[in-house]
Amino acid sequence: MTGLKVIQLLPALEAGGVERSTVEISEALTAAGHHSVVISAGGRMLPELLATGAQHIHLDIGRKSPFTVLTVRRLRQLIAGADIVHARSRLPAWLAWLAMRRLAEPPRWVNTVHGLNSPGRYSRILTRGDRVICVSESVRRHLLAHYPDLDAGRLQVIERGIDPDMFARVEAPPQACRERYRAEFPQLMGGRLLCLPGRGTRLKGHQAAIELLARLRQSGVDARLLLVGVEQQGRQRYLAQLRQLAQQRGVEPWLAVSPPRDDMQALYAASDLIMQLSDRPEAFGRTVLEALSVGRPVLGWSHGGVGELLQELFPEGAIEPSDIDALTTGAIRLLAAPSTAPVTIPYTLARMQAATLNLYVQLCQS
């Protein structure tokens, strides 16, 4: 088969699992001799996307406004002649559906369900592709539970994956790794470092992390906390609320925050304990894999995709959701005698890329 033209649709290229997967599949497409096109409103990760050899077309297909439907005509022109249209979010999927309805020969349609979306007509659009990629078994079960008439044969589980070279295991003590951050985060020097990666939204469990920090310090543990990714444009009010909470709990001197970063492997290596405390079940939980690959223990709520990964790879880090007492006990236990994280992570980037490209090829040949 000659090279495919694959168009991926997503709202923007700022930060997150959707954006990361888009870049990773683009890299695999161009490496295999296919033509990768991404349509979005752009963002922080655009240079990284362009470095893969992809073509980017700026179109605001993620803005929730009645005027966004005006992009359908332009979108129809762009996707005409493509082999695959791959939508990664609900609104872009709706726009793709509207655009393809009037094409004489529409492309094959793939959707990825990246989250455990609220069931309903708006979310159902992601189940209407020729193939529907589920990023975990949790997502597959969620879709079949809420859409009982859904053809399960169109669902394919392709777990997200990490590059084990990018998140190479580090055996050096965290304190030695932490020296590189002395100037940037002086409040994190000494003691035991807890790290919670996650966007600046209240669903990511930042409040629970601050409460854990307070309880650990009350228990005599010299704990410090780094919230990575919480400092974002438009999130200043939420950040102020977190700082106020830390002040109320008496732990602000031992709290640091940062924007999304590109040095996560080094930050994991510098940490004593990584946390994943999202209030709602996550579809997958890539940060769990990243941290375990580096060799650091992970503590998280045992629900959704995060719970699946912890139960399989690091069960001692799985905590009953919202049980702050168990979370504190678990943190003290892991900090006192950290369990050995698994050396081999089965969910790799290469595996995810190969499975996705194979799906594209099989779909076009069917």
pLDDT of the residue at 49: 94
Average pLDDT for the chain: 91
pLDDT for res 107: 95
Sign, Cα dihedral of 38, 39, 40, 43: positive
The 3-state DSSP class for residue 94 equals: helix
Three-state SS annotation for 215-229: HHHHCCCCEEEEEEC
Q: Residue 206 — very low, low, confident or very high, per pLDDT cuts 50/70/90?
A: very high
Task: Please answer whether residues 86 and 111 qualify as being in contact, where contact means their C-beta atoms are separated by less than 8 angstroms.
Answer: yes
pLDDT > 70: what percent of the chain? 99
Greatest CA separation found in the chain? 69
> Residue 200 and residue 108: Cα distance in Å, rounded?
35
- Tokens representing 192? 């035991």
pLDDT tier at 339, thresholds 50, 70, 90: low
Range in 3-7, 199-203, 250-254, 313-317 with the lowest mean pLDDT = 199-203
* Ordered strands of the 55-58 beta sheet: 55-58, 35-40, 5-9, 84-87, 108-113, 131-134, 155-157
Q: Mean pLDDT: which of 62-71, 150-159, 165-174, 210-219 is highest?
A: 210-219
Looking at residue 142, what is its pLDDT?
Answer: 93
pLDDT at 9: 95
Looking at residue 1, its pLDDT comes to 52
* pLDDT of the residue at 156: 95
Contact 255, 227 (CB under 8 A): yes
Q: Which amino acid is at 188?
A: L
The pLDDT of residue 251 is above 80: yes
Confidence class of residue 21 from pLDDT cuts 50, 70 and 90?
A: very high
Please tell me what DSSP assigns to residue 89. Answer: S
Q: Is the pLDDT of residue 184 over 70?
A: yes
Question: Given this model, what pLDDT does residue 173 score?
Answer: 86
Least confident of 147-156, 187-196, 331-340: 331-340
- For residues 172 and 269, the answer to whether their CB atoms sit within 8 Å is yes
φ, ψ for residue 5 (rounded to 5)?
-105, 115
- pLDDT beyond 90 at 215: yes
Tell me if 110 sits within 8 A of 129, measured CB to CB.
yes
What is the b/e burial string over 220-256, where b = at least 16 CB atoms within 10 angstroms of the residue's CB? Answer: ebebbbbbbbbbbeebeebbeebeebbeebebbebbb
Q: Average the pLDDT over 212-238 and give the result.
A: 91
E strand or H helix at 90, and its extent? helix 90-100
Q: Reading across the β-sheet that carries 273-276, which strands appear in turn?
A: 255-258, 223-228, 192-197, 273-276, 298-301, 318-319
Q: pLDDT at position 363, please?
A: 93
Q: What is the DSSP string of 306-363?
A: HHHHHHHH-GGGEE-TT-HHHHHHHHHHHHHSPPPPPS--S-BHHHHHHHHHHHHHHH
pLDDT of 234 over the 80 cut: no
Residue range 40-50: mean pLDDT, rounded: 92
pLDDT digits (tens, 9 = 90+) for 112-153: 998 888 889 999 999 999 999 999 998 999 999 999 999 999
Does pTM surpass 0.75?
Answer: yes
pLDDT score, position 242: 94
Please indicate whether residue 320 or residue 338 has the higher confidence score (pLDDT).
320
175 pLDDT more than 90: no
Mean pLDDT of 4-10: 95
Least confident interval from 231-235, 263-267, 334-338, 342-346: 231-235
